[in-house]
């Protein structure tokens, strides 16, 4: 089964979001991290059990970069994604996300607890402790960032996500996409990746799986927040 693609207009038609999907089981919405959406074997594996819907963060859809300017803050983003979920007709759905996307998934589950069938948070952002700070990924060079979030920064998965290639023009294009994706997501989390989720997380009532990579060097593992 091939990956399907559709573009959905939400937010009074002002924000266009490309959604990649695959599979035929229960609905799962996957929210990507700060470096943009890459369809990879991980999503392929999920699609063996679920119908996976993977939206691009507003502003990172190639033909609609300026649409990000119609969203002013995190609450706008959460409501925008809620409109997308309704437009796709997937409710309730499993909400899953990685890094920044995990924070978005958790905020959505807190905003409307009954809409999430399950919640999966992978290396989630959203909390902050001065004694255990998260690395400032916005100022890292791509190679440094790969070394922070991948066990093997030169492996196939890292090269795929960051567009590492020997083709100089393709490498430049990948660097531009990465920079723009980090800026478009950073708008909602910069400069401190804590927008008050700890005041709302008690509203999350759905069964939740929290996943942390043993060699994650971006988000530290701590025993409690």
Q: Residue ranges of the domains in the chain?
A: 4-211
Distance CA 54, CA 43 (A): 9
Torsion sign across C-alpha atoms 141, 146, 149, 151: negative
Q: At what angle do helices 100-111 and 74-88 cross, to 10 degrees?
A: 80
Residue 210 tokens, joined: 């929290």
**High-pLDDT (> 90) share of the chain, %:** 64
Distant-in-sequence, close-in-space partners of 210: CB < 8 Å, separation ≥ 6: 121, 124
- pTM above the 0.85 mark? yes
Give 91-140 pLDDT, tens digit per residue.
889 999 999 999 999 999 999 988 899 999 998 888 888 887 888 888 88
Query: Which of 3.40.50.1820, 3.40.50.150, 3.30.420.40, 3.30.70.270 would CATH assign to domain 4-211?
Result: 3.40.50.1820
Average pLDDT over residues 192-213: 92
């Amino acid at each position: 089964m091939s990956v399907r693609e559709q573009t959905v207009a939400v937010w009074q038609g002002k924000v266009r979001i490309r959604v990649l999907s695959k599979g035929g089981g229960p609905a799962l919405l996957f929210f990507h991290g700060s470096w943009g959406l890459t369809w990879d074997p991980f999503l392929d594996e999920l699609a063996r059990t679920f119908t996976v819907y993977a939206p691009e963060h507003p502003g990172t859809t190639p033909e609609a970069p300026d649409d990000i300017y119609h969203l002013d803050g995190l609450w706008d983003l959460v409501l925008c994604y809620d409109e997308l979920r309704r437009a796709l007709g997937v409710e309730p759905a499993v909400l899953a996300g990685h890094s920044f996307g995990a924070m978005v998934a958790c905020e959505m589950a807190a905003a409307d607890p009954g809409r999430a069938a399950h919640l999966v948070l992978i290396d989630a952002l959203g909390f902050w402790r001065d004694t255990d700070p998260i690395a400032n990924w916005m100022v890292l060079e791509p190679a440094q960032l790969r070394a922070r979030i991948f066990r093997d920064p030169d492996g196939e998965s890292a090269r795929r996500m960051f567009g590492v290639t020997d083709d100089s023009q393709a490498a430049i294009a990948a660097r531009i996409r990465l920079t723009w994706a980090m800026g478009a997501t950073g708008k909602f989390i910069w400069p401190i990746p804590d927008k008050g989720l700890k005041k709302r997380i008690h509203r999350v009532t759905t069964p939740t799986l929290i996943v942390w990579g043993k060699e994650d060097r971006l988000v530290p593992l701590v025993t409690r927040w």
